[in-house]
């Protein structure tokens, strides 16, 4: 070693000896810097297999041309055509619903304590009562099947969960409730929902060369006694019907997953009216799960000038502000208030690289809001939101006549303002 190198090494050693001892690093726990893997990879693959088997005919053929037709109609916002044929619906579900189903399941599993999918075991000696109270879910805009499959996966997880893993004696006394799922959509998605429901609740078809062990282990993904799935074709922005009202009135959970902003785009006033209607119909304690793209905006146009409002603000404005003012206004029928349970402005779901599916799927990013309906709920709104509310009402007042004439000529004067 060169003399000057020896000198430098000596000086470095002296500096090290005079340094103050640094703070010890905290022990790093597994998954401390990343979200823990909630859903077993094997279960995620089974859910993808349900989509693969349900739409095997399309996935095994030349998928791309038909998909491009659907994409073209969606790009032109020609939804009547995009969702007008069964083959279009099946291609749409095969392409976009699988990744969404896994993302929804990941979210539902994280929210399971808020959603209360389990019920107390009140039978004698720890045995369950003969009848379980059903957990009713209404999936608005859920015709493409992602919500249906996600809820089926959730039921499977809850039914196979080892109570010892929970580490809570109270939780050991609880069992999953029977799930009743109603998918509601404006297009006729019945063929898609029925197909997915069948593959969820019936024994998969095995190869004739399957081993005896494989045949013995071949069981339905979900027990038909634990889950029921139905589809209802209905335009939620039109006048309410007894059928949809009864569905909402009995629901423990209503979902609007990548649906609310599309409703706002179709008609902001009618969507606000619809949300107030949901508020008035839901039972106290029911939950509303809203998921949409982060940064979603809806706009009101006045004299060629467009004013944009964040979807999140419009939702809060209706549920946390307008419903409360209606409740307190003399002569108005009492409407339940809402409390915000949890929300996330931006969350990611990333697919595991080990998952297999005939076509490429993408990760998904979403915003999430979970309010609970009920009388006397805690309401709050920031000063900025209150200022935006006043601005919003000023614009709606000025635009009322134009909106009525151009989009809703059958509505009486003042109806647009009352909808909001």
CA–CA dist 379, 339 (Å, integer): 6
- Report pLDDT digits (tens) over 165-203: 555 555 555 678 899 999 999 999 999 999 999 999 998
Give start and end residues of each alpha helix (H) in 335-414.
383-406
pLDDT band at residue 305, thresholds of 50, 70 and 90?
Answer: confident
Pairing of strands 227-233, 253-257: unpaired
The percent of residues above 90 in pLDDT, for the chain, comes to 48
Asked if residue 101 has pLDDT above 70, the reply is yes
The C-alpha R_g of the chain, in whole angstroms, comes to: 26
What's residue 165's pLDDT?
A: 52
**Span 77-85, mean pLDDT?**
93
In whole numbers, what is the pLDDT of the chain averaged over residues? 78
CA–CA dist 114, 116 (Å, integer): 6
User: How many CB atoms sit inside 10 A of residue 232's CB?
Assistant: 17
Pairing of strands 174-176, 118-120: antiparallel
DSSP state of 141: T
**Span 388-407, mean pLDDT?**
54
CA–CA dist 69, 66 (Å, integer): 5
Lowest mean pLDDT among 21-35, 90-104, 119-133, 310-324: 21-35
pLDDT: is 217 or 290 the higher one? 290
What's residue 302's pLDDT?
A: 53
The DSSP code sequence of 92-119 is: HHHHHHHHHHHHHHHHHHHTHHHHT-EE
CA–CA dist 178, 294 (Å, integer): 33
pLDDT band at residue 268, thresholds of 50, 70 and 90?
Answer: confident
pLDDT: is 416 or 27 the higher one? 416
Asked if residue 81 has pLDDT above 90, the reply is yes
CA–CA dist 130, 153 (Å, integer): 24
What's residue 319's pLDDT?
A: 86
CA–CA dist 124, 26 (Å, integer): 48
What residue ranges in 64-199 does DSSP mark as E strands? Answer: 118-120, 135-140, 174-176, 179-185
Task: Looking at mean pLDDT, say which of 55-69, 88-102, 236-250 comes out highest.
Answer: 88-102
CA–CA dist 73, 78 (Å, integer): 5
Lowest mean pLDDT among 94-98, 106-110, 291-295: 291-295
Token code pair at residue 314 = 């419009």
Token code pair at residue 136 = 């009713």
- Report pLDDT digits (tens) over 105-146: 999 999 999 998 887 654 444 344 445 689 999 999 999 999
């Amino acid at each position: 070693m060169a003399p000057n190198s020896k000198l430098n090494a000596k000086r470095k050693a002296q500096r090290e000896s005079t340094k103050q001892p640094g703070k010890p690093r905290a022990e790093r726990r597994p998954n401390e810097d990343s979200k823990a893997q909630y859903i077993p990879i094997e279960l995620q693959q089974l859910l993808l297999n349900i989509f693969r088997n349900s739409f095997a005919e399309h996935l095994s053929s030349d998928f791309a041309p038909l998909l491009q037709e659907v994409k073209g109609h969606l790009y032109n916002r020609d939804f009547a055509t995009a969702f007008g044929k069964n083959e279009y619906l099946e291609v749409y579900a095969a392409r976009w619903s699988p990744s969404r189903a896994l993302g929804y399941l990941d979210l539902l599993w994280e929210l399971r304590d808020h959603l209360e999918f389990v019920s107390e075991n009140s039978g004698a000696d720890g045995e369950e009562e003969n009848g379980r109270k059903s957990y009713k879910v209404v999936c608005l805009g859920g015709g493409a099947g992602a919500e249906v499959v996600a809820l089926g996966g959730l039921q499977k997880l809850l039914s196979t969960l080892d109570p010892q893993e929970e580490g809570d004696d109270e939780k050991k006394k609880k069992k999953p409730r029977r799930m009743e799922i109603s998918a509601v959509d404006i297009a006729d998605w019945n063929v898609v929902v029925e197909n997915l429901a069948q593959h969820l609740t019936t024994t998969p078809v095995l190869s004739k060369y399957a081993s005896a062990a494989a045949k013995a282990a071949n069981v339905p993904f979900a027990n038909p006694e634990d889950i029921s799935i139905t589809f209802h074709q209905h335009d939620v922005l039109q006048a309410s019907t007894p059928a949809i009202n009864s569905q909402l009135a009995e629901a423990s959970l209503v979902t609007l997953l990548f649906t609310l902003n599309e409703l706002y785009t179709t008609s902001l006033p009618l969507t606000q009216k619809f949300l107030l209607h949901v508020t008035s119909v839901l039972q106290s304690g029911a939950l509303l799960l809203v998921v949409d793209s982060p940064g979603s905006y809806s706009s009101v146009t006045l004299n060629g000038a467009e004013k944009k409002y964040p979807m999140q603000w419009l939702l809060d404005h209706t549920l946390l502000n307008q419903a409360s003012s209606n409740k307190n206004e003399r002569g108005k029928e009492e409407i339940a208030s809402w409390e915000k349970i949890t929300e996330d402005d931006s969350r990611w779901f990333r697919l595991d690289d080990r998952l297999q599916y005939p076509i490429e799927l993408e990760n998904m990013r979403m915003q999430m809001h979970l309010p609970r309906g009920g009388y006397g709920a805690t309401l709050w709104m920031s000063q900025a939101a209150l200022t935006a509310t006043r601005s919003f009402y000023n614009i709606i007042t000025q635009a009322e006549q134009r909106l009525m004439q151009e989009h809703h000529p059958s509505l009486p004067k003042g109806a647009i303002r009352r909808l909001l």
